[in-house]
Amino acid sequence: MKKRILGNGLEVSAIGLGCMGMTHGFGKPSDQEEMIKLIQDAFKAGITMFDSAEVYQGADEQGNILYNEDLLGEALKPYRDQVVIATKCGIKMADGKQVLDARPEVIRESLEGSLKRLQTDYVDLYYLHRVDPNTPIEVVAQTMKELLAEGKIRHWGLSEAGIETIKKAHAICPLSVVESEYSIMWRSPEKELLPLLKELNIGFVPFAPLGKGFLTGTIDVAATFPATDTRSKQPRFKQEAMAANAKLLDVVKEVAAKHNATPAQIALAWLLAQGDNIVPIPGSRKLGRIEENIKSSGIELTKDDLDIIEQALDGVDLVLDRWDPNSPNAKRVGK
């Protein structure tokens, strides 16, 4: 696995592993022992960056809370000094709903809980999961600066933050990473975010780099999703939207055939080609998929390949809305 440097010295594998779906967001949580082994196998296959969050919680059949961080803590304990663990604060569960809270005392409380679940005394990369409109970002940055000085975190980042927020935070305590959605399907970060991150030497970690599974080419355009799957709430996963977006997938498959690769590998190779400060974190609950994703780091797309994809994007009318504009998820992005 090739390595990349994020920000001012955070070295990670060129492909990371998003662990959210193991407990949260994509239906019922998976068997916990199986996921612990999967995380260990992913490390042995070459992945060194593992992404989680305090709020990535599920429940077993008895109603017991299953924390995603518990999986990483147990799985990575034998390899702690060889891996980068990323987790997040700023979203709390209250009465079954997500609440934004980034007050300094809450960040510290969250971090202590994460450290305990992760079975470690430091977090390599600690994100503010979403910007809390009731807590100035300058206050958050100062808190992170203190945690860095205390050795409890080694790098910090922002997730789905707006341009001005990033600038203000970075001026107080330099950011190593910003995380947001980015893929062939969703290219909004190219307008302002990517140029700013390059200017400030901040790494970029795209989540949903495979369009939440769509770019793998394995989702039937007639599929429906259960209420426990976040895709059931996203306009782009309505059947008519998926049918329209399949035109892009056809082009990705065409490029994949040239490289004897899968659509997922081409989608990830495309992301890696957009800048050497980019490290995507596709998620999976299957080792075969993880190994497939890892191989994308060895695919070098030619200028012709990139031009073909670019021309296809210009010529296809895609349906890409992530969220209903009035939904809570939509209202807390880019603040």
Catalytic residue among 56, 67, 126, 182: 56
CA distances from 193 to 45, 202, 243, 331 (A): 31, 10, 29, 18
Whether the CB-CB separation of 153 and 176 falls below 8 Å is answered with no
In tens digits, the chain (335 residues) has pLDDT values of 899 999 989 999 999 999 999 998 777 888 999 999 999 999 999 999 999 999 998 888 888 889 999 999 999 999 999 999 999 999 998 877 889 999 999 999 999 999 999 999 999 999 999 999 999 999 999 999 999 999 999 999 999 999 999 999 999 999 999 999 999 989 999 999 999 999 999 999 999 999 989 999 888 888 888 887 888 888 888 888 888 888 888 999 999 999 999 999 999 999 999 999 999 999 999 999 999 999 999 999 999 999 989 988 887 777 777 767 777 776 667 67
What pTM was estimated for this model as a whole? 0.93
Check if 56 is active-site: yes
Beta-ladder partners of 206: 180
Give 279-335 as a DSSP string.
----B-S-HHHHHHHHHGGG----HHHHHHHHHHHHH-------S-TTSHHHHTS--
Whether the CB-CB separation of 183 and 249 falls below 8 Å is answered with no
Q: Which fold has domain 3-331?
A: TIM Barrel (3.20.20)
Instruction: Please state whether beta strands 84-89 and 49-51 pair in parallel, antiparallel, or not at all (unpaired).
Output: parallel
Burial of 94 (0-12, 13-18, 19+ CB in 10 A): exposed
Domain boundaries, the chain: 3-331
